[in-house]
Structure 1
Amino acid sequence: MTILVRDVREHELDSVLALNNTAGPSILALDAPALHRLWSIADYFRVAEVDGLLAGFLIAMDRSADYDSPNFRWFRERYDAFLYVDRIVVATTRRGAGVGRVFYADVQSYAEVRVPMLTSEVFLDEGSDAALLFHGTFGYGEVGQQVMEGPGRRVSLLAKTLCSYEWVRETYGDELPDVPWLAGRRRPAGGASRATGT
């Protein structure tokens, strides 16, 4: 099985929305306008494709994003620079096949040349041990907890320091080499455009 990770295309947003809203209680539901808003502000919005079919997606944004999630705000109030993983969804038919691990390796590769930290959260509901273990095996640790406004659910707020960030900054400063794998996301027309990093 080959897993291809690439930037999402606008015509795929309906399929992404369907994946999101059938993911189960660990992912908050979205409507189409909310997903389009995420599409316009995300620094990282990629899908995984297996055998020509969407197998999942991951959305992340840096601290300068115009985003009002209470968990995102919690991190922004405490940290100067980070990439926040807002949501990762893997299709039920592909869970356990490594898609999530491929996403987390890819988002780390994206982030470590731009910011010193990756952040995320996990709902602390019954059955959250698998998600906490998954994040822990990638080096995330809990930096706080809060009860989310709205849904009233307790979350574990997680962060991971990206060790290579300092070396990249000392070696290249703000001028990364002009190579395709370092290119940032091409924003949709009218989408926010901002520099990442410190």
Structure 2
Amino acid sequence: MPITIRDVREHELDSVVALNNAAGPSILPMDLAKARFFWEHAEYFRVAEQDGLISGFLVALSQDAPHDSPNFLWFRERYPEFLYIDRIVIARPRRGGGRGRAFYADVQSFAEVRWPQLACEVFLQTGNDPALLFHGSFGFREVGQNVMPASGIRASMLLKEMCSYPFVAETYGGKLPDLPWLRTRPLPGRQAALATGT
């Protein structure tokens, strides 16, 4: 069966948490509250599904998200507009099958028409060279390093310019055509804020 990349559904958050916490030490732990935060605030929160099972996910937030990650805040202090990849997780038995590349192609396509830059980080720890090479093959470049205060983990801060963004912004002025492939997921957190006026 083919792999489908689609928006996560609310009832799948438990599966996302389990997948995240089985990924190993290169991925920060996550609880259901964090998954719900992503559900409510992430501009991009998609899963890879195959044979009815979730085999991976990617979460990305805009610079406006109320996110407290030190790496996210590092980018926000330096860049006015970006989409930040908070995490990508592929189930261990499914790694090496192209899901990571498919996610990165998809999130880049999503970001290209909305933000001038795509940001992420890679932890600088032994054995993580493949992750740096993976990001380099997608055109990311290091723009600095950050040491996370709580853990002392050093991260390589990576950025990629979205080449089509200037043309899209000039042509459409922030109002993209109403086409299925350009639609974004509704953000419950944003809708609640609009309803209460906060």
Which one has the bigger helix percentage? 2
Match of 1:35 in 2: 35
* Equivalent residues in 2 for 1:1-198, closer than 5 Å: 1-188=1-188, 191-193=189-191
* Distance in structure 2 (CA, Å) of the matches to 1:82 and 1:117: 5
* Distance in structure 1 (CA, Å) of the matches to 2:99 and 2:50: 9
1:35 Cα shift? 1.5
* Distance in structure 1 (CA, Å) of the matches to 2:2 and 2:83: 27
1:187 Cα shift? 2.0
* Distance in structure 1 (CA, Å) of the matches to 2:150 and 2:39: 22
Q: Deviations over 1:22-62 (max 9, x none)?
A: 11111000111122112111111000011221010000000
| TM superposition score normalised by structure 1 | 0.94
Identity %: 62
Local SS of the residue matching 1:18: helix
Q: Deviations over 1:48-100 (max 9, x none)?
A: 01122101000000000000100000000000100000000001111000000
* Distance in structure 2 (CA, Å) of the matches to 1:53 and 1:80: 37
* Bigger mean CA deviation after superposition, 37-46 or 112-121: 37-46
Q: Structure 1: which 5+ runs fail to align?
A: none
Amino acid at match of 1:71: N
* Distance in structure 2 (CA, Å) of the matches to 1:144 and 1:131: 16
* Distance in structure 2 (CA, Å) of the matches to 1:86 and 1:116: 17
Local SS of the residue matching 1:192: helix
* Distance in structure 1 (CA, Å) of the matches to 2:176 and 2:187: 19
* Distance in structure 2 (CA, Å) of the matches to 1:45 and 1:53: 16
Please, what is the CA RMSD of the aligned residues? 1.1
* Distance in structure 2 (CA, Å) of the matches to 1:29 and 1:192: 25
Amino acid at match of 1:180: P
| TM superposition score normalised by structure 2 | 0.94
Amino acid at match of 2:140: Y
1:186 Cα shift? 1.6
* Distance in structure 1 (CA, Å) of the matches to 2:147 and 2:170: 38
1:15 Cα shift? 0.6
